Amino acid sequence: MAESSYAKAGVDIAAGADLVERIKPAAAATARPGAMDALGGFGALFDLKATGLNDPILVAATDGVGTKLRLAIELDRLDTIGTDLVAMCVNDLICQGAEPLFFLDYYATAKLDVDRASQVVAGIAAACGAAGCALIGGETAEMPGMYAPGDFDLAGFAVGAVERGAILPVPARPGDVVLGLTSSGLHSNGFSLVRKILAEGDHALGDPFGSASLGDALLTPTRLYTDAARALRGQPGLRALAHITGGGLIENLPRALPEGLGAALDLPAWPLPPVFRWLFDAAALPQQEALSTFNCGIGLAVVVAADAAQAAAARLDAAGAPAHVIGSVTDTPGIRIAGAFA
C-alpha cells in the first residue's frame, strides 16, 4: 500500500492554519468588554462580570442561512452571507431582551479555499461589530466527500445576556399595539421556494431588477435589529419583540403572545418591498401562503401598550429604525388579516 497522509486524503491542515491567521485581525476588531482571548485556543473565554450586568441570565441561539447560501455560491457573492448568519442569531436573542455578547461560526467544506472562506468570515466579523458582539471563536471543517467541489455550509452560534428582571416577553394585553420594523428583503427564509421558482420559470439571477439585478435583490443581507432593541430598552409598556423568520407573521408573532391572545394585522399599513411583489407574481402565491412563508416586509414586530406606542415609535425613529403601526393584540387566538398588500 502506498504511503498515506492526511493531505493525500484531502485535508490540508496548513490551509486551516492560514485561515486562522487571516481572520485574526477581523475577529480582533469585534472585541467588546468581556472578550478575553485571541483565536486559536481549544475554547473561547468570555468574562461575564466585565459586562457590568448584576444578575444576568444567559440566552443562546443558533441558526444558519438556509438555501440562500446556494444562490450566494452560484453568484460567487460571499461578502454579505456572513451578515445573514449573524443577524439570524442575534435577532433571536434580542427578542428575549438580551444583549448579544459573543458569536462563534462553523464553516464546513470539502476542500478549504482560504480566499473564499476569508470573505465569508470577514462578513461575519463586520456584522458582529455592527451588532456589538465579539467573534471569539469558531470551527473550520474540511470534509472530503461530504460536499460537492466549491460548496460549503455555515452555522452560527450566539450567546447574549439579560438582567433577570428584564427578560422578554412579558404578558401582552388585548388592545396593545403591534409596531412593525421593515425588513431589507427576504432576509434568510423561503429560499427553497425562491430557487424552485428560478428553476421552473423564465427568470434568471442576472435579470435586471431596479437599478441592480434580481440576484442582488435576493441576496440583500438580513437586517440587524440590535440597535432598535437597545433603543427600546427600559421603554415603559414594552411587552414583546418577535423576529419574523420562517413561518412569517402568522407563526412568529403568536410566539411572543400569551396563550389565548392573538393579533389583528392591517396589510396596507406597511410598504411591500419590490422583491416580494416579484416573488408573489412569479409564484402566483396566495396571500395567506405568502404570510405563512415570508416576512412580507416586516422583519421585527414590537408589541407595546397602546399608551406607550407613540413614545416607542419615537425611540425607534431616533435609532434609525422607523416603525409602522401594523395592528393590535386581540383576545382571540391566532392572526387575523385585514386588507391586502397595496
Helix%, strand%, coil% for the chain, nearest 5: 35, 25, 40
Mean pLDDT value across the chain: 93
Examine the pLDDT at 1 and tell me if it is beyond 70: no
Ramachandran area for residue 331 (φ above 0: left; ψ -120 to 50: alpha; else beta): alpha
The Cα–Cα gap between 58 and 34 comes to 14
pLDDT given for residue 223 in this prediction = 98
Per DSSP, the residues of 246-289 read: TTHHHHHGGGGS-TT-EEEEEGGGSPPPHHHHHHHHHHT--HHH
Note the pTM of the prediction, 2 decimals.
Answer: 0.94
Q: In the 8-state DSSP scheme, what is residue 95?
A: G
Kindly report the backbone phi and psi dihedral angles of residue 292, in degrees, each rounded to the nearest multiple of 5, phi listed first. Answer: -95, 0
Strand pairing category for 334-338 and 262-266: parallel
Assess whether pLDDT exceeds 90 at residue 247.
yes
Instruction: Give CA–CA dist 70/249, Å, rounded.
Output: 25
Model confidence over 60-115: pLDDT tens digits? 999 999 999 999 999 999 999 999 999 999 999 999 999 999 999 999 999 999 99
pLDDT category of residue 5 using cuts at 50, 70 and 90: low
Return d(Cα 1, Cα 255) in angstroms, integer.
59
Q: How confident is the model at residue 23 (pLDDT cuts 50, 70, 90)?
A: confident
Residue 41 has pLDDT above 80, yes or no: no
- pLDDT bucket at 284, cuts 50 / 70 / 90: confident
User: Which residue intervals of the chain are DSSP H helices?
Assistant: 13-28, 68-75, 81-93, 114-131, 191-200, 214-218, 226-232, 248-252, 274-283, 287-291, 309-318
Using 50, 70 and 90 to split pLDDT, how confident is the model at 18?
confident
Farthest-apart Cα atoms in the chain, separation: 79
Task: Give yes or no for residue 13 having a pLDDT over 90.
Answer: no
Average pLDDT score over residue span 309-316: 98
Paired strand residues for 99:
161
- Give the list of residues 6+ apart from residue 164 with CB closer than 8 angstroms, or none: 55, 56, 57
pLDDT digit string, tens, across residues 163-194: 999 999 999 999 999 999 999 999 999 999 99
Type of residue numbered 299: G
Least Cα distance to 242 among 258, 229, 256 occurs for 256
Determine contact, residues 194/187, Cβ cutoff 8 Å.
no
